[in-house]
Structure 1
Amino acid sequence: MAQLVKLQNYISRYEKDIFHYPGQFSRMKKEKWNKTLNQWEEERFSYEQEVERIQHTEKTSKPKWRSLFTRKNMQEEAWPVENDKPGLPSTKEDLKHQFLDRLIAFQLKWASSTVSQMSFLDRTFLHDLILKFFLQRFPDTYLFMYEPVFTLKNSTMEGDVVLIKPQGIEIINLVENPSADTIFVNEERMWEITIRGNKERILSPMLSLRRTEQIIKSILDLHHIDFPIQKTVLSRTNSMLFEREPYRTRFIDKHRYDEWLQQHRQEVSPLKHKQLIVCDALLNHCQTVAVRRREWEEDDGSQPL
């Protein structure tokens, strides 16, 4: 599960200590998962024992004459083991999905508050499918910035999705239209899409990607950091037609999506020190809007964040 280090202009625990929280999150997630799995296995075992006891009781107490009428319907009368206990996942895979969904709320808490400060979180992020996709489909070692607001030279700019990976940065712009057929890529300011046979024009996502890339490069140059940057236009629902891909740019459409995703999911590299340095530099140039927690309002400011 990727780590949400920055959400727009919300305060983040990661910006307070990027060298501490990524490792803490991975350890906490592992501990919570093991505890959840053990509890589920214990409850599952107890539940199955109870089912067996009830089935045995029904079998031994059933009159002989009744079995003549129920033999044909034995399959319909079987105890519904999988669905009879609401809230208990049927399989380990279902349990994992439930666990990851709960972690999203936890990540949003870390991405919108510290010990002493908080931002007012828009609750719609709890149901943001794009946010959920990036958090749940990528490894823990991916540090994820969701539409960060960068500040540099007294100006602000909202960036695209930024994945800070152990081996480099990937800037991603999603271009998805479920009702469209094909996206036609060109080097102009406007691209074209076909919707029910009709062509419509859309603003090229390359404009936003280049702006985000430029401000990230400026921040890294300011801190004398050399780190690779890759740009990606992603469409999970559409085909993309293009003649060539620009330098350090990939066009990932629905035909290339599975391969692209698997390449990321199979990333086994641990967190890198330089990766954390890069993330720290970017976080130091992100806008943050927050207020002090009520319980800290009377404090003199001597307490640590």
Structure 2
Amino acid sequence: MGQLIKLENYISRYQRDILHYPRQFIRLKQDNWKRLLDLWHNQPKQNRIEAPLEDTNRAALFDKFFGIFNKKEVIEDQPIEPLLPQNEEQLKQYFLDSLYHFQLNWSSTTLHEMSFLDRSYQEDLTLKYFLQRFPDSFLFMYQPVFKLKNATVDADIIMITPFEVNIIKLVEYPSNRTVIPGDDRTWFIEENNVRSKMLSPMLSLKRSDKIVKSILNHEGLDIPIHKIILSRTNAIDFDLEPFQTTYIDKDAHEEWLQKQRAYTSPLKHQQLKVADALLAYSDTVAVNRPEWEQGEDDEFYHS
């Protein structure tokens, strides 16, 4: 499960300690999955229900199961009787959905501060795709906002892997349309042999690439950087790809995704330094949390 280290200009737990939280999240996921799987195996089959499960039940599991670690209590001391799915595949998705909401919390709060999370992110299918389909060691900045020379600049999706940085621009339309690259300013959409113009996605992709490169160069960090045009729904009709740019359309998507999922490398120190540098130049809008909330969900920080 990819890790959401920055969402828009929200305060992020990862900004507080990039060396701690990514590794802690991986341990959290592994330990809690083992515990949940044991719970599921020991639960009578007649107590299981058909998926999809109600959000209220998932929230109950989240509060009881993950909340145990907030209070540093022992799992055996807490009676947990959530309604769990019928089969293991459904259980995995149930667990990932619970972790997804957990990640939204980490990417919008710290011990003392909070940002106001847009509710649309609760069911953002694109964000879920990146967080639920990629390895634990992949770090994501989703629609980040950078602050450079007192100006804020929106950027595309940034995926920081142990080996490289991928800057991703999604281009997705109804599946009966074909995307046809043009120049740096104008591309085309073709449907039933009729073409219409669209703004070239290379504009924002190149802007994002320039931002990332300028920050890393300033910090003396060297890591390969690639630009990706990603369309999971459309064919992309092209002859040549621009320099250091890859087009991934609906026909190439599954192979590309499986290649990413096959990476088994752990987090790298250089990767975390790159993430820390990009976070340092990110814009953040947050307010102080109410005193009665502070510290309640400071998961694992002192463990």
Determine whether 1:116 maps to 2:112: yes
Partner of 2:183: 187
Partner of 1:73: none
Larger radius of gyration: 1
Structure 1: stretches of 5+ with no match in the other structure: 51-80, 299-303
1:176-233: per-residue Cα shift (whole Å, max 9, x none)?
0015421111224110011344221111111111000001111011111111101000
Determine whether 1:200 maps to 2:196: yes
Question: Which residue of the other structure, out of 282, 285, 299, is the alignment partner of 1:289?
Answer: 285
CA contact (8 A) 2:45 2:86 kept: no
| CA 83–99 in structure 1, closer or farther in 2 if over 3 Å, else same | closer
Question: Which residue of the other structure, out of 32, 41, 47, is the alignment partner of 2:45?
Answer: 47
Determine whether 1:132 maps to 2:128: yes
- Deviation, structure 1 residue 297: 11
Determine whether 1:166 maps to 2:162: yes
Determine whether 1:101 maps to 2:63: no
Partner of 1:276: 272
| CA 38–221 in structure 1, closer or farther in 2 if over 3 Å, else same | same
- Deviation, structure 1 residue 156: 1.3
In 2, distance between residues paired with 1:165 and 1:268? 11
Q: What letter matches 1:47 in structure 2?
A: K
Partner of 2:205: 209
Runs of 4+ that moved beyond 6 A:
none
CA contact (8 A) 2:184 2:202 kept: no
In 1, distance between residues paired with 2:218 and 2:49? 58
In 1, distance between residues paired with 2:293 and 2:251? 54
In 2, distance between residues paired with 1:297 and 1:32? 24
| CA 175–273 in structure 1, closer or farther in 2 if over 3 Å, else same | same
* TM-score, scaled relative to structure 2: 0.84
| CA 242–83 in structure 1, closer or farther in 2 if over 3 Å, else same | closer
CA contact (8 A) 1:145 1:163 kept: yes
CA RMSD of aligned residues (A): 2.2
Helix, strand or coil at the partner of 2:246: strand
Determine whether 1:256 maps to 2:263: no
- Deviation, structure 1 residue 109: 0.1
CA contact (8 A) 1:147 1:159 kept: yes
- Deviation, structure 1 residue 110: 0.1
- Deviation, structure 1 residue 162: 0.3
Partner of 1:30: 30
Structure 2: stretches of 5+ with no match in the other structure: 54-82, 295-300
In 1, distance between residues paired with 2:258 and 2:156? 22
In 2, distance between residues paired with 1:114 and 1:140? 21
Partner of 1:77: none
In 1, distance between residues paired with 2:184 and 2:265? 37
Matches within 5 A, 1:70-109: 83=50, 87-109=83-105
Q: What letter matches 2:19 in structure 1?
A: F
CA contact (8 A) 2:184 2:203 kept: no
Helix, strand or coil at the partner of 2:291: helix
